[in-house]
Amino acid sequence: MTVTREPIEPVSGGALRARDAELMVAGDFEAFYAKEIRNVVGLVYVLSGSRVAAEDLAQDAFVAAYRHWDRLRSYENAGAWVRRVAVNRAISNGRRLTAEAKARLRLRQQRVVIPELADHNEDLWTAVRRLPRRQAQTIALHYWDGLSVHEISIVLELSEPTVKTHLQRGRETLAALFPKESAE
């Protein structure tokens, strides 16, 4: 199935008012929507450059119009109201996308270097990742990040005795996995 898109052509302002007056007499939202959607999508498209965004933002504007239809049906130019809403949403969307792009660029420039683990530590941290979740968290916070039991209790929102229990159980499991070398 192939979807083809027709070029979008604007309607002159005089034709817009005459058409609105005709629609408002009937008070028919569906007819208003059918007559206006093409031009509103086109307007948002020329502002945003994105057909998908234009369709979404135009639909949002018409949803707002539908919510206020009892009041809008009496307007001399309800099409202008919908266009204003659509244009405002296009501007807001553009600002949001610009802010997101700037944030991504800043984050990309601030690459965090993950520290390399010594070969003998790699096995230990692999074992820590296999511990039950809270044991792994307390072990990592204590031994990697250097936090005290009190600080870990704040981070994990646990009582200090609970943190101590998880640390102890994690240590016992790790001690069983990595027994000390016997002295010869």
**Which architecture characterizes domain 13-109 according to CATH?**
Orthogonal Bundle (1.10)
pLDDT tens, per residue, the chain with 184 residues: 344 444 444 445 555 555 555 544 445 899 999 999 999 999 999 988 889 999 999 999 999 999 999 899 888 889 999 999 999 999 999 899 889 998 888 887 777 666 776 666 788 888 999 999 999 999 999 998 899 999 999 999 999 999 999 999 999 999 998 887 544 3
Model pTM score: 0.47
81 token code pair: 């109201």
Rounded to 10°, the helix 78-109/29-48 angle is: 40
Asked if residues 91 and 57 have their Cβ atoms less than 8 Å apart, the reply is no
The pLDDT, as a whole number, for residue 6 is 47
CATH number assigned to the domain with residue range 119-177, chosen from the 4 options 1.10.530.10, 2.60.40.3500, 3.30.300.30, 1.10.10.10: 1.10.10.10
At residue 153, the 3 state secondary structure works out as helix
Nearest Cα to Cα of residue 131 among 180, 175, 73: 175
